[in-house]
Structure 1
Amino acid sequence: CTICRISVSCASGGKNDVKRHLESKNHLSNRNVAENSQSLKNVFVTEKEAFSVIKAETIFANFVARYNLPFTVADHFTKMVPIMFPDSSTAKKYASGKTKTTKLIKGSLAPNLDDDVAEKPFGLMCDESNDQGGEKDFVTLVRLYNEEEMAVKTRFLDMPKCNIGSTENLFNCLDESFRKSGISWNNVVAYNSDNASVVKGRKNSVYSRSVQRQPNVMDMGCICHLVNLAVGAAMKMFPLGPPLFLLPVEDLLVDIQYTTTSTTVPKKKKKEFQEFTNVDPLKILKHCLTRWLSLQKCRVNLQQWPALQAYFNSHEDMEKKGHVRKVGQLLADPEMKLYFNFLQFILAPLVSFNTAFQSEDIKLATMHSDMKIMGFFVPIKTIKAAAEDLSKVTYKGIENQVSDSDLNIGNKARVLLINSKDEITHETERRFFKSVRRFFETVTEKMLRAFPIGDQLLKDMTILSPEEKENIPAQTVINVAKRSPQVIQEKQLDKLREEFTDYQLTEPGELPSEEKLDLYWGKVSQMKAAGEPRFPTLSRLMKTLLVIPHSNASSERIFSLNTDFRGDLGKDTIHSLLSCKVNNDRCCHDTMLSTKVFRDCKSATWSYNQNHSSKAC
C-alpha cells in the first residue's frame, strides 16, 4: 500500500484481504492525511510562478475596482479559476478572495494610480453631495497635465465627510486634503464648482477663501449648470391661454409619467392605445429636476401624442377634477402641441452644447463658436458685425431680429402652423411667436450674463490654436501669463516673448500636426534647438491654460460611482476604489501596471497572509 507504506498479504483471503485493509481505520486515516497534504512541489514556489500569481490577482483586483463590482465576486471567482483553467499552474495557486482583493486595491493599486500633484499647476473642482439622509461628502478633483501621456487628465484627490455644509467646514476639509497630499495652494490656477452660494459666492464661500490663499485663482464657472439655469428661466416665458398662465411643461410630463406607470393596469391600457393608434411602444421617462436638461430626454415623444390623447380621453377620471382631466385638456389643446414641437427642436442644440462641455476635452477656446443659438433669431450679419465679442450683439426687440417667417422654430412646428389654420387662431400664432422670441432672448441674456464671455482670458484662449499663431500679438501672450504669476514669473516674461516670436516664425511643417491641443502642446514642449528645449516657457504656459476646467461634470459623476452596495464600506476603501476608477483611463486588458505596482502587491499579499495567519492562530 503506497499510502500506508506497508506490504499487505493476500495469501489467505485474496481480494478480501485487500478490501479489509482499504476499510481499516489506519488506512483511512493515512489516506485523509495524504489527500489534505501538499506536495513539496506546491509548497516551494519559484519566483517566476509567484510573480505570475500576484500579477493575476492584481489584474483581477483592478477589474473589480474599475467596473464597480462587489467584493464578493472575488470569493466566487477564486473558486472558479482552477475549474476554468485546470492545466494552469497559476490558476491552481490563485487565491484572492474579497479580503485579499480589498488589500491589493488599498495597499498597491490606488496609491500607485495617484498622480503627483504636489509640483504641478492644476485646476480644482469640488462639489458637495445633496443627500437628505445619511452622511454628506465633499468631493475634490484636480485637472492637470500628464506629461507621460501628453494629455489633460482629471484625477480624484479626496472625498472627506462633511455633514455640516457651512463655508468654514467645507473649506477646512479642502485645506486638510491639500495638507495630507502635500499640495501647496500656489499650484491652484483655476477653480470650478456648481453655483451654490456656499461654494461659489463672492463674499463668503469656498471660492472666496481659496482666493485669499491664492489671489490668482481663475474661475470660468460651470457651463453645464449655467445652461440648465438659462433654459429653466426661459421656460417661464411660455404663456398658454386664454386665460394666460405659464406653460406647465414640467408638470405635464410628471403627471403623464405618473398616471401611465403608477400601476400595471395603466401600463397595459397605454400599450393598447399605442397599438390602436399604430405608434411605437416607447417608454415614458420620468422628468428629474436635478438632472441637467432632463426635459429634453423626458419630453413626450410627439409620435406618442395620439396614443396619450386617446388614453386620457377614455380615462375613468376624465370627468372628475384632478390631474387626469387637466392632462387630457392640455393634450387636446393644439397650442400645447405647438409648444412641444418647438421644444423638441430647440432643446436638441442646447443639450448638445451642454453635453459637449461635460466632456474632458478642451472646450473654453471654442465657446464663442459653440454658442449658435443667437443665430436662430438674430440676423447673421448682425452677429458677424460684433466679431468675436458676442456681448456687443444687439438682440433684444423685434426690430433687431428676423421676421416671424424666418424665425427658426423647427420644421415640425412650422408645418403644424400651416396645417392647423382652423385650430390655431391668429391670436394664438401671434402669442406663440412672441413667446418664442422671449425664450430666445432670455436664454441668450442668461448665457451672456453668466458665461465668462466678457473675460479677456476667454478671448485670449485662441493662443492655444495653432491656426491662429500668426494673428496673435505677442503682448496677448504676455497678458495671459500675467494672470498666472505663480507659473510664469515676471523675470521670465522676456524669455516668453522671445519663445513666442520664435514659435510664430516656425514653419507649419516643423510643428506637430496633432489635432488635440493637449497632445499638440506636449509635442511642442519636446522640440529642441542645440540639444535644449526650444519652447519650455511657452509650453508651460499653454499647459496651464489647458487645465482650466470648463464644467463641474466630473465632480457630479463621482457621486454616481458611489453606488448603494458600497454604502457599508469604510471611508479609506471607498477612496481607494474611486482612485482606481477615476485615475485609471485604460481598460483593464490594456492597463500597463508597473513593476512597482506588482512589488507593492507582493508586500500587500505578505501583509495579508501575516494578518490572516495570526487571526487563525
Structure 2
Amino acid sequence: MQDLYSGKCFLTLKLLKKYGCARTKTSAIIDNLSRDKIETIVETLQKTFFACATDGSNDVNTQLYPIVVRYYNKEIDQIMTALLSMPSCNESCTGENIFNLLNREFVKYNIPWGNCVSFGCDNASVMTGKHKGVDKFVADQNENIYISGCPCHLVHIAAQKTAQKIPIKFEDLLVDIYYYLDKSYKRNLELKNGQLMCEIKTHKILKHVSTRWLSLGKCLERLLEQWDALKMFFEQEYEIEKKKKGKTKIS
C-alpha cells in the first residue's frame, strides 16, 4: 500500500514539473476562482445576517477601503471571514463619500443593509462622528445595526497617553542597561549571581533597536522578568561607586 502511495506521489511530482503557468495564465485562474468565491459569499449575504467592517489605507495616491464580512456558513457549520471587495475612494474621504462607496458595493451585489447586524471601524471622527461620520449614514439604513469601534485602537491611545506621563523613557532605559552590561564579563557575572540569588532564569538582557519597534515589547518583558536581579545588581554598583567617591574626597 505504501509503495502504491509512493508511486502516485512520484507521478504527481513528475507531472507538476512539466506544468507551466506564467503571469497571464495565473492571473486568469485566480480571477475565475475569486469570482466563484465572491458569488458564493454574495448568495449567503443576501439570505443571512452578517457583520461588516472596513478601514481606509494610508496610500497617498489612492484610498482603498477593503470590505470584510463575517457570517455563519450553514453548509460547513462554521463562522467565516471573507473579503467581499476592495473599492477605492477617488473623492475626498468624508463620512458621506466613504458610506456611498460602501453602499455602491452593497447595491451592486444586491445585499440588503437590513442583513448587516454590525458595522466595525476605527474610532476616527470621519468614521464614528455622530452627525457626518460613516456610522451615522449606516445607521440611517438600519437603525438596529450595532456600531463597533476598534477596542484595540482605544487601548493603544490610552496606553500612549499614559506612557507620556511616566517620568522616564523606557527606550532609553533599555538601551542604557544593555550597553552597560555589554562586553563586560565582570558585570554579567555579578548579574548572573544576582539572578541565582533571586531564583530567576539566567536570561540575557535583550537589545532594543529603535528601527525595529516590535523589539520593544520583548525587551520590556525581559526587563520585568529580570527586575529583581537588576535592582540588586545596580544597588551594589551604586554602593561601590559611592565608596569610590568617598575615598577620593578623603584623599
TM-score per shorter chain, which class? Answer: 0.5 to 0.7
Name the counterpart of 1:143: 70
Relative to structure 1, is the Cα distance of residues 96 and 253 closer, same or farther in structure 2, using a 3 angstrom cutoff? farther
What is the deviation of 1:127?
A: 0.2
| 2:33 maps to 1:105 | no
| 2:202 maps to 1:284 | no
Which of 175, 181, 202 is the equivalent residue of 2:109? 181
Name the counterpart of 1:416: 231
Give, in whole Å, the separation in 2 of the partners of 1:288 and 1:418: 28
- The answer to whether the 8 A contact 1:141-1:156 is kept is yes
- The answer to whether the 8 A contact 1:137-1:161 is kept is yes
Q: How does 1:233-248 map to 2 (within 5 A)?
A: 233-239=161-167, 247-248=168-169
What is the deviation of 1:423?
A: 6.0
Relative to structure 1, is the Cα distance of residues 175 and 112 closer, same or farther in structure 2, using a 3 angstrom cutoff? same
Equivalent position SS for 1:128? coil
Which of 149, 156, 169 is the equivalent residue of 2:97? 169
- Which amino acid is the alignment partner of residue 217 of structure 2? Q
What is the deviation of 1:282?
A: 4.7
Instruction: Return the index of the structure with the highest Cα Rg.
Output: 1
Name the counterpart of 2:197: none
Give, in whole Å, the separation in 1 of the partners of 2:173 and 2:139: 43
- The answer to whether the 8 A contact 1:287-1:295 is kept is no
Gaps of 5+ in 2: 1-10, 189-202, 240-251
Which of 208, 213, 218 is the equivalent residue of 2:136? 208
Give, in whole Å, the separation in 1 of the partners of 2:182 and 2:233: 26
What is the deviation of 1:219?
A: 2.3
Give, in whole Å, the separation in 1 of the partners of 2:146 and 2:119: 6
Equivalent position SS for 1:152? strand
Name the counterpart of 1:274: 182
Compute the RMSD of aligned alpha carbons. 3.8
Give, in whole Å, the separation in 2 of the partners of 1:100 and 1:422: 68
Gaps of 5+ in 1: 1-81, 240-246, 261-269, 303-340, 346-410, 425-617
What is the deviation of 1:122?
A: 0.7
- The answer to whether the 8 A contact 1:124-1:190 is kept is yes
- The answer to whether the 8 A contact 2:206-2:219 is kept is no
Deviation by residue 1:109-154 (Cα, 9 ceiling, x = unmatched): 11222323222211111101123x3322111101111112212111
Equivalent position SS for 2:55? strand
What is the deviation of 1:419?
A: 8.0
Equivalent position SS for 1:232? helix
Name the counterpart of 1:431: none
Q: Percent identity?
A: 29
Relative to structure 1, is the Cα distance of residues 153 and 227 closer, same or farther in structure 2, using a 3 angstrom cutoff? same
Relative to structure 1, is the Cα distance of residues 106 and 417 closer, same or farther in structure 2, using a 3 angstrom cutoff? same
- The answer to whether the 8 A contact 1:128-1:138 is kept is yes
Give, in whole Å, the separation in 1 of the partners of 2:217 and 2:109: 41
Give, in whole Å, the separation in 2 of the partners of 1:236 and 1:281: 24
- Which amino acid is the alignment partner of residue 248 of structure 1? K
Relative to structure 1, is the Cα distance of residues 223 and 300 closer, same or farther in structure 2, using a 3 angstrom cutoff? closer
- The answer to whether the 8 A contact 2:205-2:219 is kept is no
- The answer to whether the 8 A contact 1:253-1:298 is kept is no
What is the deviation of 1:286?
A: 3.3
Relative to structure 1, is the Cα distance of residues 99 and 419 closer, same or farther in structure 2, using a 3 angstrom cutoff? closer
- The answer to whether the 8 A contact 1:202-1:208 is kept is yes
Which of 71, 78, 81 is the equivalent residue of 1:154? 81
Q: TM-score, normalised by structure 2?
A: 0.67
Equivalent position SS for 1:99? helix
What is the deviation of 1:172?
A: 1.1
- The answer to whether the 8 A contact 1:201-1:208 is kept is yes
Give, in whole Å, the separation in 1 of the partners of 2:136 and 2:145: 10
Relative to structure 1, is the Cα distance of residues 233 and 183 closer, same or farther in structure 2, using a 3 angstrom cutoff? same
Name the counterpart of 1:127: 55
What is the deviation of 1:188?
A: 0.8
Number of positions where the alignment pairs a residue of Structure 1 with one of Structure 2:
206
- Which amino acid is the alignment partner of residue 186 of structure 1? G
Q: How does 1:284-363 map to 2 (within 5 A)?
A: 284-286=208-210, 295-297=216-218, 299=220, 301-302=222-223, 341=224
- Which amino acid is the alignment partner of residue 233 of structure 1? K
Equivalent position SS for 1:134? coil
What is the deviation of 1:417?
A: 8.0
Equivalent position SS for 1:176? helix
Higher relative contact order (CA 8 A, sep 6+): 1
Equivalent position SS for 2:88? coil
- The answer to whether the 8 A contact 2:56-2:64 is kept is yes
What is the deviation of 1:416?
A: 3.0
| 2:151 maps to 1:223 | yes
- Which amino acid is the alignment partner of residue 155 of structure 2? V
Relative to structure 1, is the Cα distance of residues 413 and 195 closer, same or farther in structure 2, using a 3 angstrom cutoff? farther
Give, in whole Å, the separation in 1 of the partners of 2:146 and 2:76: 25
Structure with bigger strand share is 2
What is the deviation of 1:295?
A: 4.8
- Which amino acid is the alignment partner of residue 274 of structure 1? D
Give, in whole Å, the separation in 1 of the partners of 2:62 and 2:219: 30
What is the deviation of 1:238?
A: 2.0
- Which amino acid is the alignment partner of residue 104 of structure 2? E
What is the deviation of 1:217?
A: 0.7
- Which amino acid is the alignment partner of residue 123 of structure 1? A
Q: How does 1:212-611 map to 2 (within 5 A)?
A: 212-239=140-167, 247-249=168-170, 252=172, 274-277=182-185, 278=188, 280=204, 282-286=206-210, 295-297=216-218, 299=220, 301-302=222-223, 341=224, 412=227, 416=231, 420=235
- Which amino acid is the alignment partner of residue 169 of structure 1? N
What is the deviation of 1:177?
A: 1.2
Relative to structure 1, is the Cα distance of residues 235 and 173 closer, same or farther in structure 2, using a 3 angstrom cutoff? same
What is the deviation of 1:207?
A: 0.9
Give, in whole Å, the separation in 2 of the partners of 1:417 and 1:178: 63
